[in-house]
Structure 1
Amino acid sequence: MFRITPGRRAILGAAVAAALTVSLSACGEESDTSTGTTGSAPSAAADTSLADKVPASIKSTGKLVIGTDSTYAPSEFLDTDGKTIVGFDVDLFNAVGQKLGLKTEWQTAKFDSIIPGVGSGKYNVGVSSFTINKDRMKEVNMISYFSAGTQWAAKTGATINPDDACGKKIAVQTSTVQADDIAARSKKCTEAGKAKITVDQYQAQSDATNAVVTGKDDAMLADSPVAAYAVKQTGGQLALLGDIYDSAPYGYAVGKDQTEFANVIAEAVKALIADGTYKTVLDKWGVAAGAIDAPAVNPAS
């Protein structure tokens, strides 16, 4: 469910939420003007040595204005009140702001407008599960903070092998790289004289998840944090299968002329890793598998 450049790596549908079904969402058409604040989350102590390094132009405002596409659970999405922006990206970057002695102001925006908004100065930072790549690093500085790839999940206790799913029924969200992935796997099955994989495609990831929970499908594959969140939200009915693959780092986006500030943000993430706040946030959202230990500015891709 990554969108391809200029998106994450694939086109996602609209956000979907339900009681037992997972609040899993995708990149849709959001207003550029809506704003939201965040609810309770792990907090971090301010670090005066880092706060002193914040550029004066930002420090004088006392806050960071953040652009985000709030349609992508569990990274960033609207809570049940329809206006509060929540998610592991939100909790984690709020903690970054706290380390720097700054408040955070989150603004919902269309995904493809965020990086241009950072470049124009509309936003101090873009936080929206941006996969770091060379094209984006030409426009903005990017600070790595998480790693995401593709992950499989099935009913707890299932013994399905993702590398040999021939003859199985597999759920996937439509128009994602995972849909292409499973189609290629099915082709390999038939070329080897085995039964094809029956691929059930769903507009909403929550529907794909429910198909596995109810037994309609044998397994699913999705963006790794989304799959991990599904396992967490279904109360143990699902379990992850195999390892994450095709991983790539997510990055915060700051202005190309803000390299000094980018380095300060990277230091703040390192401080959060060191004091345990980073792990607490990822554990809260069930996405600890994507943890990194060495945040960097504009890492080689």
Structure 2
Amino acid sequence: MRRLPLIAVTGFIAAGLTLSACGSDSLSTSPGAGSTPAGTAAGGGVDQALAAKVPAKLKSAGKIVVGTDPTYAPNEMLGSDGKTVEGFDVDVFNAVAAKLGLKTEYVPAGFGTIILGVTSGKYDVGVSSFTINPDRKKQVNMVSYYSAGTQWVVAKGNPQKVSIDDVCGKSVGAQKDTVQAEDLAARSKKCTDAGKPAITQVIQTGQDQVTADVASGKTVAMLADSPVGLYAVKQTGSLEALGDIYDSAPYGYVVPKDQTDFANLLVDALKASKADGSYEAALKKYSVEAGAIDNFALNP
């Protein structure tokens, strides 16, 4: 999970090649890329009572500007046109925005820069698989909407006989600024403390690069959020999940600390999207409904 203070599937399949090739360029895309009309998820529609509570600034703009890192399929990724941001995170948040009578504008950004972008006013909200944790709650408000854990992934058949409990001396990949990178660092320290070789930690900026590394054999395994890792397994056909999902925790929308009323409004909009079926429809579209929750909350 992307939990530090803080996939796209790549080159060896045609769709992944298009996605990853555009993915690295997308991080410098100017604001305005990936704008998506509100109400695109099934069951969308304005809830007039909620729309009446929208902050004046957002009501005047008619849209919510969203910071996101689109290298994390199926959560958030670039579409075939190389600029439209899509994924289950996008569909769920579009349904939420629809309840408020607002459009959404997704601005691609490096994952580690999004919280700062929200606190500085560059983005109204951060929607990028942020797991809720105490460090983040000190900086921003967080609204829970999904639950995910960490999943290990290896080449199909696990030819290197990787064991999650003993990867000392092996090359393992993770994305920068994620809990998986922290997990690898802690495991490597245990190795060296025990007099064993350190883990070769291959930390990449984008999850698409992490997936490409394990698919090409540069690394023997990768760690990723459970929906991301399982999506890579499904799409490539050359990878498989290793072990069970662990450390499950909720994802949260990132909202400025001084905008508690707006954060609570997002909680109510999530409840409304759950009630009309648009929340579940967004998850089912990407086969990630296993992480659905119904206890949406501010700073749980």
Q: Is TM-score (shorter-chain normalized) higher than 0.5?
A: yes
State the match for 2:235 in structure 1. 233
Distance 1:166 1:137, change over 3 A: closer
Where do residues 173-212 of structure 1 align in structure 2 (5 Å cutoff)?
173=174, 176-177=181-182, 179-180=184-185, 183=188, 204-210=209-215
CA RMSD of aligned residues (A): 4.1
Question: Is the contact between residue 151 and residue 242 of structure 1 (CA under 8 Å) also seen in structure 2?
Answer: yes
Tell me the CA shift for residue 16 of structure 1.
Answer: 6.8
Q: 1:222 aligns with which of 201, 221, 224?
A: 224
Distance 1:57 1:171, change over 3 A: closer
In 1, the alpha carbon distance for the partners of 2:71 and 2:115 equals 17
Could you tell me which amino acid in structure 2 is paired with residue 279 of structure 1? Answer: E
Where do residues 65-84 of structure 1 align in structure 2 (5 Å cutoff)?
65-84=65-84
In 2, the alpha carbon distance for the partners of 1:135 and 1:202 equals 22
Question: Is the contact between residue 92 and residue 278 of structure 1 (CA under 8 Å) also seen in structure 2?
Answer: yes
| Unpaired segments ≥5 residues, structure 2 | none
In 1, the alpha carbon distance for the partners of 2:20 and 2:284 equals 17
Could you tell me which amino acid in structure 1 is paired with residue 255 of structure 2? Answer: V
Structure 2 SS opposite 1:128:
coil
Question: Is the contact between residue 232 and residue 286 of structure 1 (CA under 8 Å) also seen in structure 2?
Answer: no
Distance 1:233 1:103, change over 3 A: same
The number of equivalent residue pairs is 284
State the match for 1:60 in structure 2. 60
In 2, the alpha carbon distance for the partners of 1:148 and 1:156 equals 23
Question: Is the contact between residue 24 and residue 73 of structure 1 (CA under 8 Å) also seen in structure 2?
Answer: no
Bigger proportion of residues as helix: 2
In 2, the alpha carbon distance for the partners of 1:27 and 1:242 equals 30
In 2, the alpha carbon distance for the partners of 1:218 and 1:68 equals 28
Distance 1:166 1:77, change over 3 A: closer
State the match for 1:11 in structure 2. none
Provide Cα deviations, 1:31-59, integer angstroms capped at 9, x if missing partner: 37342234995332322222222223322
Tell me the CA shift for residue 197 of structure 1.
Answer: 11
In 2, the alpha carbon distance for the partners of 1:257 and 1:109 equals 23
In 2, the alpha carbon distance for the partners of 1:266 and 1:27 equals 32
Structure 1 range deviating more: 96-105 or 132-141: 132-141
Tell me the CA shift for residue 80 of structure 1.
Answer: 3.2
Tell me the CA shift for residue 248 of structure 1.
Answer: 2.7
Q: 1:33 aligns with which of 30, 35, 40?
A: 30
Distance 1:181 1:278, change over 3 A: farther
Structure 1 range deviating more: 284-293 or 256-265: 284-293
Percent sequence identity is: 50
In 1, the alpha carbon distance for the partners of 2:108 and 2:175 equals 24
State the match for 1:262 in structure 2. 263
State the match for 2:41 in structure 1. 42
